[in-house]
Amino acid sequence: MNVKINEKRLLDTFLKLVTIDSESYHEGTVHKHLLAELKKIGCAVFVDKAGKKIGSDAPGNIIASLKGTRTGKPFLLSVHMDTVKPGKGIKPQVKGGRVTSGGTTILGADDKAGVAVVLEILRTLKEQKPDCGPVQALFTLNEENGMGGAKNMDYSKVKGCDGLILDNESVSELLIQGPEVCDFKVTIQGVAAHAGVCPEKGISALEVAAKALSMMKLGRIDKDTVCNFGVVNGGEVTNVVMPLLTLKGEVRSLYSQKLQKQIKHMKDCFAKAAKAFTKRVDGKTIKPVITIETPQRYGALSVPKTAPAVKLVLAAAKKHGVKLIAGASGGGCDANVMCQHGLLMPNLGVGCQKCHTTQEYLDLKEFYQAAAITLDTVLAYGK
């Protein structure tokens, strides 16, 4: 049986979806639209309670289940409902094999292109009833703001363990690795003193920071690990020795051990700097007080090349003439979070380019290829 997606319907679905505003935290309207479409298709639909926890105007993530002609574990497809800003009043334009925005907004192909592909696949399976196992489609909230939807998903309702995330740029990229990320927040409390009268009685939080940073490895640490400070706050006037400084940074690594090693190195540098600025003033010891917090933002994505979804996607891509490379990314996505819950879901590109800018566009050839590859992967799973 030659099962095929309907490319015209796929494009129409995409064009409709991008005109429904759904900036992060405001996914309510698109959520309602998706629920209605999924019910029309004949899916069993469950909505969890993630919305309230993350402050969205939608009630929760959607978990839609469609039975197949075969039984077994469902294959998972996951996409996110939200977009970045400026994502209000998007006017898509189809021209020369591309869909662009009107130029003043994003297009929202990240991730409405993925959403459209999933809807088209569910419709195709329902209509053409090919030999296929069950499918569960996950529509998450708030991916763009730290994967709040995926972090708060009710995983007891997710019955599969293999699947595919459709939330990457080019169809030739399959993400199987992504970094763990930890924030690195430092507060340096120095000692205030009049800079004109008695600077030697103070401890400049700025100088302590400078000392620590001068000893610190930053930027590219090795091929798997990077580190950056992006925010500095401190001081109010020039005639006071700076008493307080905060630094905000992050450490990313594909490997937890390497990440922890870098965090330890950074903490050691601050400890050495604190020691260097400890001194006696008026018969008393004064020293900088440094507090450091390193909460994990999200865990690593690590899907082995031997995982069923990876093998099936690579085979399907070959069939459709797409040179697919399974590799690593420096960023994070829902796949990172789902990986912590034991779901092995690589992230396939859907033909979206220049995401998160007003120049964002969707390459239609790649979009249709992504849909065909995904359909073949779903059909082949569990056979």
Q: Which of 111, 120, 207, 366 contacts Zn ion by CB under 5 A? A: 111
Q: Which is nearer to Zn ion, 24 or 262 (CB)?
A: 24
Q: Which is nearer to Zn ion, 21 or 287 (CB)?
A: 21
Q: Which is nearer to Zn ion, 191 or 355 (CB)?
A: 355
Q: How far apart are CA 63 and CA 48, in angstroms?
A: 8
DSSP H helical ranges for 140-248: 148-151, 205-214
Structure token digits, residue 249: 């940074």
- Residue 328's identity, in one-letter code, is A
Residue 334 is a binding residue for Zn ion (CB under 5 A): no
Which of these segments, 129-137, 167-175, 201-209, 298-306, binds Zn ion (CB under 5 A)?
167-175
The answer to whether 327 touches 174, Cβ cutoff 8 Å, is yes
154 is catalytic: no
DSSP assignment of 32-98 equals HHHHHHHHHHT-EEEE-SHHHHHT-SS---EEEEE--SS-SSPEEEEEE--B-SS-SS---EEETTE
The number of residues that bind Zn ion (CB under 5 A) is: 3
Determine which one of 110, 111, 143, 376 is catalytic: 143
Which of these segments, 162-170, 184-192, 231-239, 345-353, binds Zn ion (CB under 5 A)?
162-170
Place of tokens 């950074």: 266
DSSP 157: G
- 3-state DSSP percent of the chain in helix, strand and coil, to 5: 35, 30, 40
Which of these segments, 42-50, 159-167, 252-260, 298-306, binds Zn ion (CB under 5 A)?
159-167
Q: Which is nearer to Zn ion, 167 or 360 (CB)?
A: 167
Least separation, in Å, of the C-beta of 296 and Zn ion?
Answer: 21
CA nearest neighbour of 31 among 81, 92, 78, 69: 81
Using DSSP bridges, classify how beta strands 135-140 and 93-95 pair: parallel, antiparallel or unpaired.
unpaired
Q: Which is nearer to Zn ion, 111 or 180 (CB)?
A: 111
Residue 167 is a binding residue for Zn ion (CB under 5 A): yes
Q: Which of 37, 48, 110, 334 contacts Zn ion by CB under 5 A? A: 110
222 is catalytic: no
Determine which one of 82, 162, 207, 363 is catalytic: 82
Residue 366 is a binding residue for Zn ion (CB under 5 A): no
- Write out the residues near Zn ion by the rule CB under 5 A: 110-111, 167
Annotated catalytic residues are 82, 143
